Amino acid sequence: MKTIAPVLPDISRRARLQPASPIRKLVPLADAAKRRGITVYHLNIGQPDLPPPPEFVKAVKNWNKPVLEYGNSKGDFRLISKVIRYYKQELDVDLREENVQITTGGSEALLFAMMAVAAPGDEIVVFEPFYTNYNGFAVMAGVSLNPVVTYGENGYHLPPEEEIEKHVNSRTRAILVCSPNNPTGTVYSKKEMEMVAELCRRHSLFLLSDEPYREFIYEGEFFSALHLKEMEEQVIVLDSASKRFSLCGARVGFLVSKNTEVVDAALRMGQARLSSPTIEQEAVTAAFDIPPDYFKKMAAEYKKRRDLLFARLGAMSGVSCEKPEGAFYLMARLPVEDAEDFCRWLLSDFSLQGETLMMAPGAGFYATPGAGKDEVRIAYVLSTDKLERATAILASGLEKFGGR
């Protein structure tokens, strides 16, 4: 006689905790709006509108191997040598093959790094607001994020050492920083980075430094964690080709560390998943051969966008935000009670001459319950004329929505 399961199995606690991405969870509403014929300006996601380098496209089109083999688990060695050359040219940092693991996007670099330094139950200190997917990777890794709040009035710069130190306890394994910051655009100074390093040394912590936006600097000066003194064994840099080369869909990232035990652990995780995509790795290898002024041109374009967005937001009554120093995001406080409701309403119930916009609700960028409720993250990844239009829609939407 066949048994009927007395109780159907439930998904794991981890799976229940796994957050929906605040950047993506409103996508079905955007899709519905598009089906109604409405144009949606996507300011919700760090998806630049810039074309991939022609070197990349050419390599894709010329792909011509008899067999589409798994790549090496560590990554394509020609790509690794380009990464090493890039770190030398851009940061004057000397790397060897043993310091680099190619990952399937910066996403996988983050997941591998968290898993390499922390076991289930351990903690990692982060600065709020933070890149929302840190939450997702932490849940997958069974790790808790211990958030230290940063404030707009302070340009989202780091609080004093003592304040951060309160969040360090016996379970803490690492401090995770992102500069230039997603979602605030803040660029941490050398002094701030050294303060974090000092805490890491004092408490024997790893320093995870998420640096995919290092070429996009508009104010201040970028300081890489790889330049910190006496931190070689503790620094793990997470990096990505996605933003630098406008290659988001290629899913090629890098984990970089002078601590070869960490890189070796990442390699063993990489062996479990066999390899990153072969063709995309080959094509990203070619992308590294872009002319040297490519990054400057890109940064100049984003600066124009930032300036326009910041000016338009500043002119809106009740809206406040800090001027981003780098990357291509900002957090804006809106004169609404619940920014997620407002974002939903923009997609479902509002349009201006057949157009509307999508933003990422701010609460998802905080771990503290209730924080960021009146905020949105805006990615300035569209051309200035589109941004002009999108901000006009935002202003009109805010007026119509009122203080609800």
> Residue with structure tokens 């080959």?
282
Residue from 193, 211, 383 nearest 306 by CA: 383
Q: How far is the CB of 392 from a second copy (least distance, A)?
A: 24
Give 312's contacts (C-beta < 8 A, 6+ positions apart). Answer: 387, 388, 391, 392, 395
Residues 67-94 as b or e (16 or more Cβ within 10 Å = b): eeeebbbbbbeebbebbbebbeeebebe
Task: Sketch the per residue contact string, 203 through 242, with a second copy: x for CB under 8 A, - otherwise.
Answer: -xxx----------------------xx--xx--------
Identify which of residues 310 and 329 has a Cβ nearer to a second copy in the complex.
329
Task: Answer whether 245's CB lies under 8 Å from 114's CB.
Answer: no
Q: How far is the CB of 301 from a second copy (least distance, A)?
A: 14
Interface pick for a second copy out of 125, 200, 225, 321 (rule CB under 8 A): 200
Q: Which residues within the stretch 269-288 sit at the binding site for a second copy (CB under 8 A)? A: 269, 271-280
Identify which of residues 54 and 314 has a Cβ nearer to a second copy in the complex.
54
Identify which of residues 66 and 402 has a Cβ nearer to a second copy in the complex.
66
Q: How far is the CB of 316 from a second copy (least distance, A)?
A: 29
Q: How far is the CB of 199 from a second copy (least distance, A)?
A: 9
Q: Is 160 in the site for a second copy (CB under 8 A)?
A: no
- Count the neighbouring beta carbons within 10 Å of the beta carbon of residue 294: 16
Report the first-to-last Cα separation within the chain, whole angstroms: 59
Q: How many residues bind a second copy (CB under 8 A)?
A: 96
Q: Which residues within the stretch 61-120 sit at the binding site for a second copy (CB under 8 A)? A: 61, 63, 66-73, 104-105, 107-108, 111, 115-120
Q: How far is the CB of 151 from a second copy (least distance, A)?
A: 26
Burial of 65 (0-12, 13-18, 19+ CB in 10 A): exposed
- Count the neighbouring beta carbons within 10 Å of the beta carbon of residue 153: 7
Identify which of residues 82 and 201 has a Cβ nearer to a second copy in the complex.
201
